[in-house]
């Protein structure tokens, strides 16, 4: 008898919960996706840094002209990270750069100590 009451209570809660939730709105979801895609195309960055000063200038990257340049200490970890980021930055290596924009051709990455142990005091700042 107790299990029947618990089942009835669980069923009633499920029905009430379902009726109170918002219906799925495909148009709203598509609109959110478009807004996110437009923000990405405009050059927004994620995750957001603590401070971001923008100049309004827009640059282009071309996969066949851009390179990551490790300077300072090198390691297998850094090599693999740069390889991963190349795939993230250029998901479509055949995409043509935007016409009329200045191009960034290199990103230098300087590591001062390879295999440094991470602690709460570790400095992972970028310049």
123, two tokens: 């400095």
**Structure tokens given for 18:** 């379902």
Which backbone phi and psi does 68 adopt, to 5 degrees?
-90, 130
pLDDT at site 18: 47
Give the chain's domain count: 1
108 is a domain residue? yes
Consecutive H or E run containing 105: none
Q: What is the pTM of this model?
A: 0.50
Report if residue 8 sits inside a domain. no
What are the pLDDT digits (tens) for 21-59?
A: 455 566 777 676 666 555 555 556 666 677 778 788 888
Fill in the DSSP letter of residue 49. Answer: P
Look at residue 79 and tell me if it is in a domain.
Answer: yes
Determine how β-strand 67-72 pairs with β-strand 106-111: parallel
Range of the domain at 99: 57-114
Average pLDDT, rounded, for the chain:
75
Note the pLDDT tens digit of each residue in 99-108.
888 889 999 9
Q: Is 85 within a domain?
A: yes
């Amino acid at each position: 008898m107790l299990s029947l009451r618990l089942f009835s209570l669980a069923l009633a809660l499920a029905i009430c919960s379902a009726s109170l939730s918002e219906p799925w709105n495909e148009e709203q979801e598509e609109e959110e996706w478009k807004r996110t895609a437009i923000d990405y195309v405009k050059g927004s960055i994620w995750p957001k840094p603590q401070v971001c000063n923008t100049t309004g200038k827009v640059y282009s990257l071309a996969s066949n002209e851009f390179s990551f340049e490790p300077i300072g200490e090198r390691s297998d970890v850094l090599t693999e990270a740069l390889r991963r980021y190349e795939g993230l930055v250029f998901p479509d290596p055949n995409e043509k750069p935007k016409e009329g924009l200045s191009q960034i051709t290199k990103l230098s990455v300087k590591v001062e100590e390879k295999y440094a142990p991470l602690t709460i005091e570790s400095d992972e700042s970028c310049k």
